[in-house]
Amino acid sequence: MSVLVQPLTEVNPLQDSLRFARRVPPCAIVIFGASGDLSKRKLLPSLYRLFYERRISQNFAVIGSSRTPMSDDQFRERMKESVSKFLEDAPFDEDIWKSFAQCLFYVPGDLSEEASYDKLRDKLDAVEKSHQTGGNVLFYLSTQPSYYAEAIKKLGAHNLQKGNGWRRVIIEKPFGHDLASARKLNEEIHQVLDESDVYRIDHYLGKETVQNILAFRFGNGIFEPLWNRRYVDNVQITAAESIGVEGRGGYYQEAGALRDMIQNHLSQVMATVAMEPPTVFDAANVRDERAKLLRAVRVVKPDDVAKYAVGGQYGPANVGGQNLLGFRQEPSVTADAQTDTYAAVTFFIDNWRWADVPFYIRTGKRMPKRVTDIAIQFHAPPLGLFSQETKGGLREARPNLLVLRIQPEEGISLRFLSKSPGSGMRVRPVSMDFNYGSSFGERTPTAYETLLVDAMAGDATLYTRQDMVDASWQIVQPILDVWGNTKFNFPNYAAGTWGPQASDEMLARQGHVWRVP
């Protein structure tokens, strides 16, 4: 989001913003949990890619830290293996790696030990001089969530939250396990850091197509006038996965679909779709509007949870000749697990724009295909003048549908009625399609590339703020509370289907049906 670049203090007369990549200031990145999966699979490959594309400053360094004892060279060797293995859609170049490796350092240490932070400070001082990082430091907490509070407290105790330049901290999700734990974590963070220095990452917001929602809504004049209760009948947000828990059964049993997807990613997507236009396109204003929207979401009463939320869990099935396990048969999952592998919720946004328009959000594992999209269903015209060709011979009730596809076929399509060729006035729905990948053939940066550059540039637009996290926990907490005290008759949907029947019934009560993405 180049429009949001914080201006560097001095003007470089050689800059050419038409042709050069976005400017990122010098800095050191400290990765806590550097030997973990996220570092190996996402962070280091993204940083290498940014380096390869010359998108990060020449004055840059990465300091990895974890309990594993390693020298700088051993860390470089390990990261080389990971980067060459997990680099997506990009070449690995030995010469470039050599230059990149000169920027990699390692400090072994335990987050709970004071000495680790002293060693870290020494290393930061050294790279500030050798790599001219200007004292800017971005800390990345890629550790177990239970370490977040302690790590930040110790950064404060060792005065590492201050320095010659800026200091920022990126925190991975989950931000708490529920509303109370999220609030406690935020309190602990704020004892050390100002909110403006906290970057809570939600990689969904870093996806190009999610960012494109903002461009689509606020860069065009023709859709925004229709973007309200007068024209929109309902909104459906779907995030379906065809895979199961893939060896993460133990973790997933504790989390569940509502917590893992709806509380964070999908509520942020809903906020992006439904928020008011910001007065200025900058981080503070965009996040203000997202937070305002989330605060306007009606908090469901415990007695109404069954009416507006449906949990599900997949059972075994044979799909395409392959026998798939049910969730309870997955490794590390207990035989009577009550975990929701599917969740569907009806939200209402109590503001003037969206009053009484249902926002249906569903997410699930082991669904027929992997797809994430947002469908804006517009009202039907007041009079049905034309008969329509449909498979069942029925009139299409609401022909106008705008679909914002997040993955995998990123793009936008608009369905409308058109006259069928020939005599007579017969109409049929046709689709006008914009395909993001084919219209902009350039390689799309990964969400982590986008978000890392944003954090280095001080652009927090795509990061979640404390009040946004708080508001999104508030809207799911009553559902979590009721589900936590309910004994479900799971499994209630077979692998390879679109979820439990109760979910269809939830929409039917409002006179709607789930679309098939």
Where do contacts with other proteins occur on this chain (CB under 8 A)?
Answer: 8-10, 12-16, 18-21, 23, 25-26, 54, 57-59, 93, 95-96, 98-99, 132-135, 409, 431, 433, 435, 437-442
Nearer to other proteins among residue 34 and residue 412 (C-beta): 412
Residue 487 near residue 480 (C-beta atoms within 8 A) = no
Least CB distance from residue 21 to other proteins, whole Å?
7
Nearer to other proteins among residue 95 and residue 336 (C-beta): 95
Nearer to other proteins among residue 391 and residue 487 (C-beta): 391
Least CB distance from residue 59 to other proteins, whole Å?
5
Length of the chain: 517
Nearer to other proteins among residue 36 and residue 134 (C-beta): 134
Residue 58 near residue 21 (C-beta atoms within 8 A) = no
Q: What does the block give as tokens for 233? A: 């009948």
Least CB distance from residue 125 to other proteins, whole Å?
14
Least CB distance from residue 498 to other proteins, whole Å?
20
Of 177, 190, 203, 265, the catalytic one is 265
- Return the residue matching tokens 């800390």: 139
Asked if 203 is an active-site residue, the reply is no
Q: How far apart are CA 290 and CA 283, in angstroms?
A: 11
Least CB distance from residue 499 to other proteins, whole Å?
24
Least CB distance from residue 26 to other proteins, whole Å?
5
Nearer to other proteins among residue 320 and residue 382 (C-beta): 320
Half-sphere exposure of 345 (CA within 13 A, CB side): 28
CA distances from 2 to 5, 216, 282, 424, 441 (A): 6, 16, 11, 51, 19
DSSP 240: E
Nearer to other proteins among residue 7 and residue 382 (C-beta): 7
Give strand pairing partners of 169.
Answer: 139, 198
The CA-to-CA distance between both ends of the chain, in Å, stands at 29
Residue 50 near residue 452 (C-beta atoms within 8 A) = yes
What does the DSSP assignment read for 423-474? SS-EEEEEEEEEEHHHHS-SPPPPHHHHHHHHHHHT--TTSB-HHHHHHHHH
Which are the catalytic amino acids? 265
